[in-house]
Every structure is written in structure tokens, then in C-alpha cells.
Chain A
């Protein structure tokens, strides 16, 4: 049963500091107000009005990736990431959002059709979008001045909802095992539509009738993490209503699955929506979690070396670490190499990666070093945010690797011939450097 976390939980921290050496941010800058222990003390003192809660305080709250790693090492099980979100929520309810946040969270992310129309317009600008495998040139790179150099993916054309029927049946000859609702999430709808398509098809190949409800909205996690709880609740309710009628809900986005499973904590204790949210949570699975649970045996692939990066939203927020590895291991042809620190954050953390670019890049550099040591050709992960950051890093560090979503390696047994995996919309990955670094 979910338990709503409040800023009062900060007082459970007894300042042992065990979180420090596992915090991706603190191990880069070593600033106490940027690690769970220091932030917990500050949040507690802010509640007691013994320190000024000025702009500096609000700013300090932003120095957290919400990766949740500190919670895993905390001997007192203090939910530090959730406490930070609670503090941000209090902050927002007191000081409000800035105009950009208001525009993005309340104006765009909440209004899925509006988002679709806006992005569709944007996608018509030459260079802003890609068709599968045929990258157009780079007007969209100018967008990176707004993201402080982070190369963001180009929009997909067409979007996922124009690629997939609202219902996909398993291929002929595959035993039908049931029905799943597919929750693609904004990233797979608009930016990695080919991956979204692959994810849905893999589920069909595994024997499921895949239903893609068109009127879903954003999962709301970005909005929730920024402290705009009211908007996040509206999004959650919208999705809960649509998804409640299904027995299984599957998403390929680690962030979305962690949000959908977590909706219960977004509503006050005893709220009617909390109960509904908890019911939904038990039906939600991450893509790899679902297939592993169902004992799915993927089709062999051509020989290739693969390593896996644990998305924080999967490992620390949902405890899913064995399933994706088991799935990869079960694919004949894959030589799996575990990277050092596979479960260390990639450094994106949504808006964090743009707001605190230098820290984000330092964390990314460590990850690239680990990937490089494996010598793997493909880095697999299960989160579009991680894909963005890892591709950005590979480009920045000149690593000759492909970054893929796990579904891109998965084919059903029915397919006669397994094609080499395609990188999909990964145009931003651009031509690989010829010389190995």
C-alpha cells in the first residue's frame, strides 16, 4: 500500500551520510546542500523556519536528479527523493511556477491534442523531424542552444499514433495469451515513434492483443517532479480513468511505468483517487518486466556484443534489474557484457540535465568511460531520457556505439529472418567516428 511522503519525513534522516558516496551529484561537486543528507536537514530546518526559505533554498531543491539511489543505501529507509519532491511541491504552492514552467506543464503537457498539433506543426519545418532511417539535415540542432548543448532528438514523422492501429493482433500462428493496453508515453509518441512501434509489435509478437488508447495524456512525472502537483493530479486522473478497464498496462518507458505505479502517492491518504490509482498500479508493467514475467522467448539475433544501462526509474524506483538482463541473456546471438556501474545514473534527470548542464556532463562522462571499457557495440536501456543522454554522450565522446531501447533487439519467434537491429530515429547519433578512441 502506498504511503504519501511529506517534508516531515526529512526528520527521519539521522545524518549518517551513507547517501553521500552513492549520490551522482554529490560525488561530482561535493556540496552538502546537493546531497540527500544536507537537503533533508535544510528541508527540516525550513519547516521549522530556522533558515531563510528564499530563492537560494528553492534553487538547492533543484540539485537532485531524483534517481533514488540514496534511498537504496539509507539504513533508515528515508525516502529522500520523495521528500525533495514534497519540498518542491510546497515551494511551488508558495511561490508559484515561472512562466515557462506554467506554459509547458499546464499549457502543453497537460493538453495532449494541443501538444500533438504544436509538435506536428514543428515537424513540418525542414530538419526538425526524421523519417525512419533517412535523417534530414540539422536545423533542429539550433534547438540545442535552448538545451545548453544537449542534443535532443528530432521529431518523428509520422507520430506513433499515425503509425499504429488502435488495436494490433498477434501475428498468425502465435497463441493469443491476452490483451494489454499500451502506454507509449510522450517520448515514444513524438520523438522515438519507431521505438514505440517496435515495442508495441514485440508485445503483439509475444501473443498479446495490443490496444493503444488514443486519448491518453502525458504520465505527468516531469510535472510532478517539478512540484506542480495539481496539474500532475489532473493528468493522473485522466490516465487512470482510461486505463482502469484493462487487465494489463505495459509501457516501454521507465519513467512512465514508475509514474503509473506511483500514482497512489500523488493523492492524499484516503482520497478516492488513491484507491483507484493503487488498483491501476498492480496492473502496470515495464516492457521487460512484463515479457520476463510471461516467460517470453525472443528470436535469435545476429552475433553482437551488448551492454545494459539501468535507468534509475527502473532500478531504483521499481526494483527492476534482473528482468531486462534475463531477457537480453535469453536472446541467442547476444554476447552480454555487464558494464561497471551499470546502475549509476546517466546524469539527465529530465530538466536537471539542462538546468545543471556541467554536473550532468560530468556524470555522463563517467558513464561513457564504463561503456567504453566493455567494448560493446550496443548499449541497451529502457528509458527514452537515458537514450537521449547516452546518445548525446556517445557523440560527445566519439564512442562507436549504438544506443537502443531493449524492444529494438526483440523479435517474436514467428519472424523467419531476423534483420540486423536498426538504430531507428537515432539520426542525432550521426555517422560513427571511424577511428575507435
Chain B
């Protein structure tokens, strides 16, 4: 299929000359996302700047039956923003104004193309704090984060995107512009449609504006590094700390393979022999931070950490967190193909999950490196393979299959924060009952009767 010149003309009229890309080179640049696997060429890329323009684009697409794939920065890790059926990529990056920071009521209203890092920088100036922190925050847009219901290290104490969404403006595939929710934390007014759109991966509506709940910036922070010679021991230490009633702001886990890669390309002084490192951030009022820091160090030692200490200074703390952020890059940079999985289990089952992953790696003779948000039970076991080596790839895929089964058996989920997209489509049936999937399909139909929005995602092909 290719868009007719009439359709392109209409798109150009809506978004202007500079808001439409059609050359092969430009389209190729919108055919991928943050994964190494998925590709799909769009036929046009549009950059609307208002909800009205989005409405006109969607109305046209519905009328002509053209697929529309919403996209922010395209840093997602599930194939979710890849236009697998061609059509239009609707890029939200030019809707990038922060509309209002309400310091009295702790809310921010912003357009969805704002990059999370830019929002945070602005909020910090007002001494405000928006905790959800997907580690792609340097690139990820608010719209992408809301659509994927993204989260990050702070989830253990502060939750994920959906916990902060108060209201939004969204455009239906029919072109109707909806105002959903409001600006208050408490709001029970019919079905909570903004919560439904959060995490819907761009399949129901195009979100153009959101109102988010904020917190005051914690006055003090401390980083603790704990080194373990067994990953399972680290998992147990995490559980013990939470069980003792301490909720650190972050508890992150990095395995030996990643530690070594990070030290190879940008040495930060991480201990090379460690099987696992846990990184904690403790925040709050200074007295509480001091006390909890001490407790965390003691508990890690009691659970068998070979070393546990507070960061010497802010610079060292920053180094540790930079190393953690570099984790995925280290993985992608060192294997032809990497599948960064995203399973989650209840935190108390984490040691079991870690144990199972190690056994799966042995069983299929593949390298699985692990990092993750140990505090909330969200683990990223990354299976390294080479898509050009069919035999190896098959083993890797079986290993992934087993990891999903393990997570589900332990009472967990197949995706914690990356979404289903294309990557986990085949596994949806394992995670949801046919009845539940049928309700999802009904909801999809109610929002998008012609099925133009982000087609080919979440649902397994019939």
C-alpha cells in the first residue's frame, strides 16, 4: 500500500510543509525503535503541534483506513512504535510545551512531546519531584511513558506512571477530542478512562496533554553500594530490608557480566569480582536518611554482603547511577542481538526467579545477563544471541519462553514496564485468560472501530 498524492496533500494541508516527511531516507529513520529486532517502513511521518491537527489526521486516517502509529522519541523496547503495517507515523515530539506547573496543588500539565528529563529539570527548579523514572528518561517523551505506563528504579517506593495520572486530553481515531479525568488525586467519576489509556500502547487514542501529580523534592538523599558473591543472596537481602519495614527509594541490581562491560568502556571503580551489586537510594528528611542508610548497610552485611557502604560523596553516587543507566547500553553494545526481557514477580519471590533464570541459561547454553529493579521484583534478564545464527536464536527463544513461564508460575507478569508491543505478543495468551482478552478486544473496538491505531500490536494475529 502506498498513500495517494491526494492523501499526502491533505496531510500537508493539516500540518504544513515542515510537518510532513515523505522521502525514503526520512521514512527509514522512523522504521525502528529502541530494540534491535523490529522494523517497519512508514509511508509518511507527520508532526502535529495541536490536538486539533491530531484530530484532523485521525479523522482522515479513519476515513481512508490508513494505519496510524503514534510515536514519541522511539526509545521504547517492545517494538511498540514500529509501523509494522506502514501508513502514517504520528510523531508527537513537536507538541513539547510544559503548559502549567501548579506549585500550590502539586500538579503539572504538559504536552506529551516533552522529554521526561526536560520536565524533571524544570520541576527541580520549583523544588518539585516527579518520581517515575524509566531509565530512558534522557530520550523518552511523556506521551510515550504514559502510553507504556513506564516505570523505573523509583517504583519500589513511589510507583509508576499510572499512579501519577490525574487527567489528560486524548483524541479518538474518529477525531473526537476528549478531556478525561481532572486535576485532583481523588476523582471517582465513571470509569477511569485516563487510567485505561495509560499503558494502552497507543492502540486506543492519541494522548496530546496530561496532568500529572507531583511531590515535593525530598530534602536528603544517600546512595548505598552493596556487593554480593551470589545473586540469590542479593535477592534475599532485598527481601529482608523490605520485611524490616524500610522502603528505599530505589533498589537496583547489576550482575557481574554488566559490571565488567561497564568497567571496560568507562571505568567507574565497580568491584570486578562481584557476582552482583545492589545499589540503594534512600531519601527523605536527613535524620531518617541517616538512620535508614545505617540499617540498610547492617542488613546487607547480616545477609552476607561482602561489602556494603554509603557512597563517599555526591560524585561517587552519581557515578554509580550512571553505571546503572549504562547497563542496557553495555548489553546492546556487546551482542549482535539482545532481548531485554522485563518480567516481574512479587518481591519476595525474586530470589527464586533469579535462581530459575540462572538454571535456564545453563539448560539452553545461552548467556543471560541480568539487571533490574530488585526492589519491586522487576527483573531484566537479557538473553544474548545473534539473529543471523538460526540455531542459537532458537535456543534463545526457548530460554525466553521459559523465563516467562517462570515469572507467571511465581505469580508475576511477562512485562513490568516495557509493554507487550510486538515483542511479547505471542505470550499474551499465557498471561491473560481468553475472557479477559475478549474484553480488551471489545474495548479496542469501542475506541477504534476501524482498527487504524497502532495496528498489529498487543494482540496476536488471528
Binding site for B on A (CB under 8 A): 12, 14-18, 20-22, 29-33, 38, 41-42, 45, 51-52, 54, 56-57, 60, 73, 75-77
A15-B32, A52-B24 are known; give 10 further A-B pairs, CB within 8 A.
A14-B328, A14-B332, A14-B333, A17-B73, A18-B138, A32-B26, A32-B29, A41-B29, A56-B26, A77-B265
Chain B residues whose CB sits within 8 angstroms of the CB of A41 once the complex forms: 28-29, 32
Q: Is B115 an interface residue (CB 8 A)?
A: yes
* Identity of the chain A residue whose Cβ is nearest the Cβ of B121 in the assembled complex: A21
Q: Is B266 an interface residue (CB 8 A)?
A: yes
B143 to chain A, nearest CB (A): 13
* Identity of the chain A residue whose Cβ is nearest the Cβ of B261 in the assembled complex: A76
Nearest first, the 4 A-B pairs at minimum CB distance are: A17-B139, A14-B332, A75-B329, A32-B29
B130 to chain A, nearest CB (A): 16
Binding site for A on B (CB under 8 A): 18, 21, 23-26, 28-30, 32-36, 47, 73-75, 91, 93-94, 96, 113, 115, 117-118, 136, 138-140, 265-266, 322, 325-326, 328-330, 332-333
A45 touches B28 (CB 8 A): yes
B25 touches A57 (CB 8 A): yes
A32 touches B266 (CB 8 A): no
B75 touches A17 (CB 8 A): yes
Chain A residues whose CB sits within 8 angstroms of the CB of B36 once the complex forms: 14-15
Q: How far is the CA of A60 from the CA of B330 in the complex (A)?
A: 28
Secondary structure dominating the interface of B: loop
B23 touches A56 (CB 8 A): yes
Q: How far is the CA of A309 from the CA of B140 in the complex (A)?
A: 29
Q: How far is the CA of A73 from the CA of B322 in the complex (A)?
A: 10
Q: How far is the CA of A73 from the CA of B29 in the complex (A)?
A: 21
A16-B34, A20-B115 as given contacts; A33 in contact with B329, CB under 8 Å: no
B24 touches A21 (CB 8 A): no
A56 touches B29 (CB 8 A): no
B326 touches A75 (CB 8 A): yes
Chain B residues whose CB sits within 8 angstroms of the CB of A33 once the complex forms: 25-26, 28-29
A15-B34, A20-B73 as given contacts; A56 in contact with B24, CB under 8 Å: yes
B45 to chain A, nearest CB (A): 8
Chain B residues whose CB sits within 8 angstroms of the CB of A56 once the complex forms: 23-26
> Contact check: which of A16, A42, A51 meets B329 at CB < 8 Å?
A16
A223 to chain B, nearest CB (A): 25
B25 touches A60 (CB 8 A): yes
> Contact check: which of A16, A17, A38, A76 meets B265 at CB < 8 Å?
A76
B94 touches A30 (CB 8 A): yes
A58 to chain B, nearest CB (A): 9
Chain A residues whose CB sits within 8 angstroms of the CB of B75 once the complex forms: 15-17
B383 to chain A, nearest CB (A): 15
B267 to chain A, nearest CB (A): 12
Chain A residues whose CB sits within 8 angstroms of the CB of B325 once the complex forms: 75
> Contact check: which of A18, A20, A31, A42 meets B28 at CB < 8 Å?
A42
B328 touches A38 (CB 8 A): no
Q: How far is the CA of A143 from the CA of B267 in the complex (A)?
A: 51
Q: How far is the CA of A379 from the CA of B265 in the complex (A)?
A: 37
Chain B residues whose CB sits within 8 angstroms of the CB of A20 once the complex forms: 73, 115, 138-139
A–B Cβ pairs within 8 angstroms, 6 of them = A17-B34, A17-B74, A30-B94, A30-B96, A54-B25, A76-B326
Q: How far is the CA of A421 from the CA of B10 in the complex (A)?
A: 58
Q: How far is the CA of A176 from the CA of B245 in the complex (A)?
A: 69
Chain A residues whose CB sits within 8 angstroms of the CB of B25 once the complex forms: 33, 42, 51-52, 54, 56-57, 60
Q: How far is the CA of A57 from the CA of B29 in the complex (A)?
A: 11
Chain A residues whose CB sits within 8 angstroms of the CB of B74 once the complex forms: 17, 32
Chain B residues whose CB sits within 8 angstroms of the CB of A75 once the complex forms: 266, 322, 325-326, 329-330
Q: How far is the CA of A365 from the CA of B332 in the complex (A)?
A: 37
A21 touches B329 (CB 8 A): no
Chain A residues whose CB sits within 8 angstroms of the CB of B138 once the complex forms: 16-18, 20-22, 73
Q: How far is the CA of A41 from the CA of B330 in the complex (A)?
A: 18
Q: How far is the CA of A30 from the CA of B48 in the complex (A)?
A: 12
* Identity of the chain A residue whose Cβ is nearest the Cβ of B328 in the assembled complex: A16
A80 to chain B, nearest CB (A): 14
B198 to chain A, nearest CB (A): 21
Chain A residues whose CB sits within 8 angstroms of the CB of B96 once the complex forms: 30
A51 touches B24 (CB 8 A): yes
B115 touches A51 (CB 8 A): no
A8 to chain B, nearest CB (A): 14
A21 touches B117 (CB 8 A): yes
* Identity of the chain B residue whose Cβ is nearest the Cβ of A16 in the assembled complex: B329
Query: A29, A42, A75 — which one has the most chain B CB atoms within 10 A of its CB?
Result: A75
Query: B35, B47, B138 — which one has the most chain A CB atoms within 10 A of its CB?
Result: B138
Chain B residues whose CB sits within 8 angstroms of the CB of A17 once the complex forms: 34, 73-75, 136, 138-140
A433 to chain B, nearest CB (A): 30
Q: How far is the CA of A32 from the CA of B332 in the complex (A)?
A: 20
Chain A residues whose CB sits within 8 angstroms of the CB of B332 once the complex forms: 14-16, 76
* Identity of the chain B residue whose Cβ is nearest the Cβ of A53 in the assembled complex: B25
Q: How far is the CA of A12 from the CA of B32 in the complex (A)?
A: 16
Q: How far is the CA of A17 from the CA of B266 in the complex (A)?
A: 19
* Identity of the chain A residue whose Cβ is nearest the Cβ of B336 in the assembled complex: A11
* Identity of the chain B residue whose Cβ is nearest the Cβ of A29 in the assembled complex: B18
B24 touches A31 (CB 8 A): no
Chain B residues whose CB sits within 8 angstroms of the CB of A73 once the complex forms: 138
Chain B residues whose CB sits within 8 angstroms of the CB of A15 once the complex forms: 32-36, 75, 332
B32 touches A76 (CB 8 A): no
A18-B138, A21-B118, A45-B28 as given contacts; A77 in contact with B266, CB under 8 Å: yes
Chain A residues whose CB sits within 8 angstroms of the CB of B113 once the complex forms: 30
Q: How far is the CA of A31 from the CA of B26 in the complex (A)?
A: 8
Chain B residues whose CB sits within 8 angstroms of the CB of A14 once the complex forms: 36, 328-329, 332-333
B73 to chain A, nearest CB (A): 5
Chain B residues whose CB sits within 8 angstroms of the CB of A76 once the complex forms: 265, 326, 329-330, 332-333
